[in-house]
Structure 1
């Protein structure tokens, strides 16, 4: 599978492969999530019986009812009138002036005997004209003028005082246009019942009726403001989430049917908007994954494997959530709390890296909010989303370095505690009264979720490692166990090689960590890199006990035996189903370097030999770890064979070995730089100086005591 995948990715390029994988993932995720947002609709007609009790799945504004209530409030608002405080005094003043002018004119005209009665009336009419014109609609007849002219001064004064008082009293009250006629009738009645002399009664009635006008006028601006305020004071009428619209068996009348339509609960009213929202969410999630993997730094094989592992774990988590949601309708409790919150996070933390694990935790939490959404959740089921976030990030922060399976159990125990703390928060925030059985369920759900996270992680980890050939940290730790059959084989059959491998592992790990390479992979790779020497242990100098079989062999035969240990080791590692990275190190740690000793020995014997026959088959180191191991392997063997090693000698030897490798083009196929080679040189010098430091020469007596 690995080879087929590699060919496929090489053929189309990683970016195209990434796009195809994410598009397929998006379609699968959409298929799993779309049912969660379609919502429930009913095949109901007006006048039919409700098949069940129907509640509002969301809060919506009833715009029709809101507008009706606002119109009613506007119509019920009383008009605003302005009361004229000055009108009574103004009209009383005009009446007073009219009578005073009449008394004055009467005195003047009585003194003029030459004028006839008719002429005197004309003069009086002219004098009163200024006052009558101010009284809109006032028109005194000749009889009424004659009554004023013929009345005595005392009668005029009496009529004036009574009429002014009556007008003041009536005009002090509210008189609107619609009741002006009744007010005039009222004052006429009051005048008739007053003590005004009969000759002046008709004139007084005319003056009294004419003096009455509207004391309250409609203020249109204030009325409009009052109506607008009354309208604005009406809050929008809403159908609240969870509100019962119709009870089971109840007749669906026009109003209830209208509300069901408004809520989109009628079959023909199903909305596409939530489906569009889910599509947008999934597109956003895929964009984040695309950006993450498009910028991923690492070998093509590693990127491809990590991508596939990520989408499989991601979709697996969604499938688990979907299965839980399918059976949740049969329970009154939130089954989502059983979901293993940290499973995906821990798996991806072990199989890929922290960054991928953190992002997928966020994406799973968002997806869970949709999948576990109840009809009464506004957008996301936030309690479940936060539950998964806290559980996932708890495992990410508290896992630390995972070296044993027990560390996964420890992490799952911490996740369990975090789950229980969050559940306590959930139960308190919902402000609902829970029974003992419900509380016990939620506590049990938190415990099951945490423990299930660890159990599924440990159960699925070997599957992913095997199928995708991923070498996780835990797998490397297991391979470094001295009880491993191959390590036991090396230790018992080639103890010198075992010691040499351990020394090389120390050097290679330190050098890898100095340049940011995988130190643990280098250490474990060193343990197994010379496993091929177990086929012919006596032909390798570190395992010889004084007798060197090469002394009796032709250089070509010796060369073949030495060279064969790389391929022999690879075969042995494959037989034990070891990870490909370890096999690659066994094959690549000598690259295509030349066995100079046997090559020159054959030349010295006068043989015509080809240099390629004395070179390792390779391939050359493909990774930084393999390149560092090739250097550390040669350096350790060379320094160990030195007599009286010193810091200066060690440094020159390391420089020579590295320079030889570079000049022999052994590092052409890996991305190691000259700067990194210099760092490796310094680290190896420092480490070896610590191992082969000069000892104090003790006196002979003390040596014997020691």
Structure 2
């Protein structure tokens, strides 16, 4: 209990500390309130109060389909089922065990008495008294019965016969001894019974019987002579009478009527009965103005009033609780995967406005009464696919699925709760999530819209067949047209409104990234001409970073674009960087500290160039974070050596550190690792697989040990996959090559070969 309380407390503290989570949950609550209000508006009706024989003052029409329970028919059906539920009787297995024990003791003592006191003549008075003395007080019979028993000389046979009789009387499926005649205490006309065995180590079994076959103890006593005679017809008359007397004297009930269990089963049977339902169809006229109120009309009016009165309480409260459950589930995922579901405040605003606009639009569409077959067409008139497509493109499929679930829920309820509406909306939402997964160009969205439209057509046709709606008429042809047009229109909406989201909220979509990845951009042309080494380095980093992101299912396109731009700040001082061959005369004049500060400044210059070129923040983050807060050890080391030789210590490590920040996501962290790995691999002499492997692992370990990856969310498993990917690509890029011979050496060998051939 304490552990669960601690978890709740920690969760509440996390919510209190995170403004983004608080804002998101507050927005979700507002959405729930708006949704509940819109879903409730059409369900508030007028109650009518009439008596039989009154005159209707106005037409009463059913505003929506109303299903209700026909209490009278349901009660009749439940009574019928209750009367078929079997009456429960318990068979006590311990009674038979006791009787078998008594018979065993009686036979054993009789046998021992005869063996100890053999009779000298026909008089057995002494043996009878001796036997009575040996028997326990609870096993006592009259002298005549005991005398007949002592006369029989095959006691083993007699014991088996008596055991067979007892087993038949107490344990035969069609026998048993009821304590008293069944008096029908539940007043149910039922002749079906079930007998279950209790007080047995074995599994409880039940046997179906008719009530008439269950005999009371008086009835069994009257039949005991016949039972004994049928089981042991060859016993001598005297001993048979003795056995009959013993069985009759010891007879006691082993069956009892279980009133509570019978009542429980009857109630259970009643509850299993499906209530008999009636239905008032939408648009049905219950009564017209001026008509007389008949009992049947009054019954329908009472049903109408009951539904109208309960809506304000049960229905509204029910849909409110369902949506609160959505918030709880959404809140759990939001807290656990905050960056995945709602990475920033802008995402909350976008989702909030998208859902609210959708709900308001759906509300007004639901009030149109001229829809052709509304069960099929309602969901097709809503931008369900648009909502999930736009969220999937702007953010990710997981958030899109969450939004889609709520939209399907709202669409189903606002559309009347029809199963076909729910299925059509669910299909549109789900297909909208995944149809944009492999889209590379904006115009490809039209292809996705066509796919959605075709799926809508197929699904509408299937729903029509299921609901037995005629498909060979002009109305259904219109539905097919609406279904196809729905998908295409949704994709056109996405195509038209996507740039608005990108520019208004500054969101970087895959289409924006594809546009930014164009290497024919002026900035890349300038880099190629001014800093070719940096250009080549950026392309290699881009390649290996993209491959690593694909391996761990990160945003590989973002990583590729970010890597392309991460070193654009080096263009301004290209001649100062080793990859471009140092040609700037300042390189020989600068102290280690000055040189380090210039190199560090390429991050700031890169950010300024990115902002001047209108790059989005998600790409600028790669420029800011690709060095994190690492130290330039080469210049720091030079500076320390110089300080030692001069005999004074004025070196500050912070002068040689990048300003950061550290990578805050997987993609920027991977570019940081790729940047370091590529630069270090380029410096290797005769790079071999072993050298590259050690180099990559050392770089990853150092970054991890220095805390550069603490905000990146990279797991150790992902880091292992990244290392393997880096190693695989670097091995191909920096492999050793064979040394080709010079042209002069080839000609020299050819002349020598010709000379040798001439000599031969």
* TM-score normalised over the length of structure 1: 0.65
TM-superposed CA distance for 1:262, in Å, is: 1.5
Alignment of 1:542-621 (within 5 A): 542-544=579-581, 546=583, 549-603=586-640, 608-621=650-663
Secondary structure in structure 2 of the residue aligned to 1:628: helix
Q: Residue by residue, what CA displacement relative to the aligned partner does 1:368-394 show, whole Å, maximum 9, x if unpaired?
A: 121121xxxxxx122221111122223
8 Å CA contact 1:42, 1:266 repeated in 2: no
Partner of residue 279 from structure 1, selected from 310, 320, 323: 320
Matched residue, 2:381: 338
Partner of residue 33 from structure 2, selected from 11, 27, 32: 27
Secondary structure in structure 1 of the residue aligned to 2:541: helix
Alignment of 1:628-647 (within 5 A): 628-647=670-689
Matched residue, 1:3: none
Q: Distance in 2 between matches of 1:237 and 1:557?
A: 88
TM-superposed CA distance for 1:589, in Å, is: 1.2
Relative to 1, partners in 2 of residues 1:465 and 1:291: Cα closer, same or farther, differing over 3 Å? farther
8 Å CA contact 1:57, 1:263 repeated in 2: no
Q: Distance in 2 between matches of 1:659 and 1:12?
A: 31
Q: Distance in 1 between matches of 2:547 and 2:663?
A: 18
Relative to 1, partners in 2 of residues 1:383 and 1:67: Cα closer, same or farther, differing over 3 Å? closer
Q: Distance in 1 between matches of 2:338 and 2:471?
A: 51
Q: Residue by residue, what CA displacement relative to the aligned partner does 1:596-646 show, whole Å, maximum 9, x if unpaired?
A: 344444555557443322222222333333333223212222322434322
Is residue 405 of structure 1 aligned with residue 448 of structure 2? no
Matched residue, 2:692: 650
Relative to 1, partners in 2 of residues 1:591 and 1:433: Cα closer, same or farther, differing over 3 Å? closer
Deviates more, 1:671-680 or 1:490-499: 671-680
Is residue 477 of structure 1 aligned with residue 514 of structure 2? yes
8 Å CA contact 1:43, 1:267 repeated in 2: no
Is residue 685 of structure 1 aligned with residue 691 of structure 2? no
Q: Distance in 2 between matches of 1:415 and 1:704?
A: 67
Is residue 423 of structure 1 aligned with residue 465 of structure 2? no
Relative to 1, partners in 2 of residues 1:615 and 1:56: Cα closer, same or farther, differing over 3 Å? closer
Deviates more, 1:239-248 or 1:529-538: 239-248
Give structure 2 stretches of 5+ with no counterpart.
1-13, 77-274, 748-760
Partner of residue 401 from structure 2, selected from 358, 361, 365: 358
Q: Distance in 1 between matches of 2:75 and 2:736?
A: 98
TM-superposed CA distance for 1:699, in Å, is: 4.9
Matched residue, 1:455: 492
TM-superposed CA distance for 1:414, in Å, is: 0.7
Q: Distance in 2 between matches of 1:655 and 1:56?
A: 68
Matched residue, 1:121: none
8 Å CA contact 1:512, 1:628 repeated in 2: yes
Matched residue, 2:122: none
Relative to 1, partners in 2 of residues 1:613 and 1:300: Cα closer, same or farther, differing over 3 Å? farther
Alignment of 1:177-326 (within 5 A): 238=278, 240-241=280-281, 244-246=284-286, 248-255=288-295, 258-264=298-304, 271-272=311-312, 273-296=314-337, 298=339, 302=343, 309-326=350-367
Q: Distance in 1 between matches of 2:61 and 2:26?
A: 46
Larger radius of gyration, structure 1 or 2?
Answer: 1
8 Å CA contact 2:569, 2:602 repeated in 1: yes
8 Å CA contact 1:341, 1:391 repeated in 2: yes
The CA RMSD measured in Å over matched residues stands at 3.9
Is residue 47 of structure 1 aligned with residue 55 of structure 2? yes
Deviates more, 1:575-584 or 1:487-496: 487-496
TM-superposed CA distance for 1:571, in Å, is: 2.0
8 Å CA contact 1:313, 1:344 repeated in 2: yes
Q: Residue by residue, what CA displacement relative to the aligned partner does 1:496-548 show, whole Å, maximum 9, x if unpaired?
A: 32211010112222334445544333222111111112233332233347555
Is residue 509 of structure 1 aligned with residue 546 of structure 2? yes
Matched residue, 1:386: 423
Relative to 1, partners in 2 of residues 1:527 and 1:597: Cα closer, same or farther, differing over 3 Å? same
Give structure 1 stretches of 5+ with no counterpart.
1-7, 69-234, 374-379
Matched residue, 1:216: none
TM-superposed CA distance for 1:480, in Å, is: 1.7
Q: Distance in 1 between matches of 2:290 and 2:389?
A: 52
Relative to 1, partners in 2 of residues 1:582 and 1:248: Cα closer, same or farther, differing over 3 Å? same
Q: Distance in 2 between matches of 1:696 and 1:426?
A: 69
* TM-score normalised over the length of structure 2: 0.60
Secondary structure in structure 2 of the residue aligned to 1:405: coil
8 Å CA contact 2:69, 2:278 repeated in 1: yes
Relative to 1, partners in 2 of residues 1:411 and 1:56: Cα closer, same or farther, differing over 3 Å? closer
Alignment of 1:152-171 (within 5 A): none
TM-superposed CA distance for 1:309, in Å, is: 4.4
8 Å CA contact 2:359, 2:410 repeated in 1: yes
TM-superposed CA distance for 1:568, in Å, is: 1.2
TM-superposed CA distance for 1:322, in Å, is: 1.6
Matched residue, 1:58: 66
Q: Residue by residue, what CA displacement relative to the aligned partner does 1:558-610 show, whole Å, maximum 9, x if unpaired?
A: 33321111011112223334332322221121122233344444555557443
8 Å CA contact 1:44, 1:50 repeated in 2: no
8 Å CA contact 2:62, 2:281 repeated in 1: no
TM-superposed CA distance for 1:351, in Å, is: 3.1
Partner of residue 567 from structure 2, selected from 527, 530, 534: 530
8 Å CA contact 1:50, 1:251 repeated in 2: no
8 Å CA contact 1:38, 1:275 repeated in 2: no
Q: Residue by residue, what CA displacement relative to the aligned partner does 1:640-685 show, whole Å, maximum 9, x if unpaired?
A: 2434322233334434444554555434554445665555444323
Secondary structure in structure 1 of the residue aligned to 2:618: helix
Q: Distance in 1 between matches of 2:531 and 2:516?
A: 18
TM-superposed CA distance for 1:435, in Å, is: 8.3
8 Å CA contact 1:345, 1:395 repeated in 2: yes
